[in-house]
A and B are shown apart, each in its own frame.
Chain A
Amino acid sequence: MPKITIPLGPQHPALKEPENFMLVLEGERIDKASINLGYNHRGIEKACEERTYIQDIYLLERVCGICSHSHTSCFVGCVEEIAKVEIPERAQALRILMGELERAHSHLLWLGVAAHEIGFDTLFMYTWRDREHVLDCLELISGNRIHYAMNIIGGVRKDINAKQKNEILKRMDILEERTNYYVKLITQEPTILARTQNVGLLPTQEALKRNAVGPTLRASNVKSDVRKDDPYLMYDKLDFKVITADSCDVFGRVFVRVFELIESYKIIRQIINYLPTGAIAVKVPWKIPEGAAVGRYEAPRGEDIHYVKANDSIKPERVKVRAPTLANFASVRYMLEGGYLADVPIVIAAIDPCMSCTDRSLVLDGEKTSSYSWNDLRLMGIEFYKKKGIDFSKVKI
Chain B
Amino acid sequence: MKIITKLITWSQMKSPWIIHFNSGACNGCDIEILDALTPKYDLERFGVLLKGTPRHADVLLVSGSVSRQIHKRLVRIYEQMPNPKFVVAIGACACSGGVFDGCYSTLGGVDKAIPVSAYIPGCPAKPEAIIDGMIKLLASLKE
Q: Is the CB of B26 within 8 A of A62?
A: yes
A336 CB–B CB distance under 8 Å: no
B96 CB–A CB distance under 8 Å: no
Mark A113-145 against chain B: 1 for CB-CB distance below 8 A, else 0: 000000000001100110010010000000001
Q: Whole-angstrom distance from the CB of A64 to the nearest CB of chain B?
A: 6
Among A47, A50, A362, the residue within 8 A (CB) of B100 is: A47
A240 CB–B CB distance under 8 Å: no
Q: Whole-angstrom distance from the CB of A16 to the nearest CB of chain B?
A: 6
Q: Is the CB of B27 within 8 A of A64?
A: yes
Among B27, B28, B31, B105, the residue within 8 A (CB) of A42 is: B105
Q: Is the CB of A42 within 8 A of B123?
A: no
Q: With A13-B52, A18-B70, A146-B124 given, is the CB distance from A43 to B21 under 8 Å?
A: no
Which A79-114 residues sit within 8 Å CB-CB of chain B? 109, 112
Q: Is the CB of B124 within 8 A of A39?
A: no
A58 CB–B CB distance under 8 Å: yes
Which B80-131 residues sit within 8 Å CB-CB of chain A? 98-100, 102-106, 123-124, 126
Q: Is the CB of B23 within 8 A of A146?
A: no
A41 CB–B CB distance under 8 Å: yes
B12 CB–A CB distance under 8 Å: no
A147 CB–B CB distance under 8 Å: yes
Q: Is the CB of B126 within 8 A of A42?
A: no
Mark A48-66 against chain B: 1 for CB-CB distance below 8 A, else 0: 0010000000110011111
Q: Whole-angstrom distance from the CB of A358 to the nearest CB of chain B?
A: 11
Q: Whole-angstrom distance from the CB of A387 to the nearest CB of chain B?
A: 30
Chain B residues with CB below 8 A from A64, complex form: 26-27
Q: Is the CB of B32 within 8 A of A146?
A: yes
B58 CB–A CB distance under 8 Å: no
A310 CB–B CB distance under 8 Å: no
A10 CB–B CB distance under 8 Å: yes
Q: Is the CB of A65 within 8 A of B77?
A: no
B45 CB–A CB distance under 8 Å: no
Please, how many angstroms separate the alpha-carbon atoms of A132 and B40 in the complex? 8
Chain A residues with CB below 8 A from B100, complex form: 42-44, 47, 62
Interface size of B by Cβ–Cβ distance < 8 Å?
A: 38
Name B77's closest neighbour in chain A (CB-CB).
Answer: A11
Which A16-58 residues sit within 8 Å CB-CB of chain B? 16-18, 38-44, 46-47, 50, 58
Q: Is the CB of A146 within 8 A of B39?
A: no
Q: With A42-B67, A65-B25, A125-B38 given, is the CB distance from A59 to B99 under 8 Å?
A: yes
Please, how many angstroms separate the alpha-carbon atoms of A68 and B123 in the complex? 12
Among A17, A41, A125, the residue within 8 A (CB) of B30 is: A17
Chain B residues with CB below 8 A from A70, complex form: none
B34 CB–A CB distance under 8 Å: yes
Q: Whole-angstrom distance from the CB of B56 to the nearest CB of chain A?
A: 11
B53 CB–A CB distance under 8 Å: yes
Q: Is the CB of B39 within 8 A of A47?
A: no
A220 CB–B CB distance under 8 Å: no
Q: Is the CB of A18 within 8 A of B39?
A: no
Chain B residues with CB below 8 A from A17, complex form: 22, 27, 30
Q: Whole-angstrom distance from the CB of A113 to the nearest CB of chain B?
A: 9
Q: Is the CB of B99 within 8 A of A62?
A: yes
A331 CB–B CB distance under 8 Å: no
Name B98's closest neighbour in chain A (CB-CB).
Answer: A62
Q: Is the CB of A39 within 8 A of B73?
A: yes
Q: Is the CB of B103 within 8 A of A42?
A: yes
Please, how many angstroms separate the alpha-carbon atoms of A132 and B21 in the complex? 23
Chain B residues with CB below 8 A from A146, complex form: 28, 31-32, 124
B16 CB–A CB distance under 8 Å: no
Q: With A18-B22, A42-B65, A129-B39 given, is the CB distance from A66 to B27 under 8 Å?
A: yes
Please, how many angstroms separate the alpha-carbon atoms of A38 and B31 in the complex? 20
Q: Is the CB of A38 within 8 A of B69?
A: yes
Q: With A18-B22, A128-B35, A129-B38 given, is the CB distance from A44 to B103 under 8 Å?
A: yes
Chain B residues with CB below 8 A from A50, complex form: 102
B13 CB–A CB distance under 8 Å: no
B residues within 8 Å of A by Cβ? 21-32, 34-35, 38-40, 52-54, 64-65, 67, 69-70, 73, 77, 98-100, 102-106, 123-124, 126
Q: 14 new A-B pairs (CB below 8 Å) besides A58-B99, A125-B39?
A: A11-B54, A39-B24, A39-B70, A40-B67, A41-B105, A42-B65, A42-B105, A59-B99, A62-B123, A65-B25, A65-B124, A132-B35, A146-B124, A147-B28
Show 23 A/B contacts (Cβ-Cβ < 8 Å), sorted by A.
A11-B21, A11-B77, A13-B53, A16-B34, A18-B22, A18-B23, A18-B24, A39-B67, A39-B69, A42-B67, A43-B100, A43-B103, A58-B99, A62-B123, A65-B27, A65-B124, A128-B34, A129-B39, A146-B32, A147-B28, A355-B27, A356-B26, A362-B105
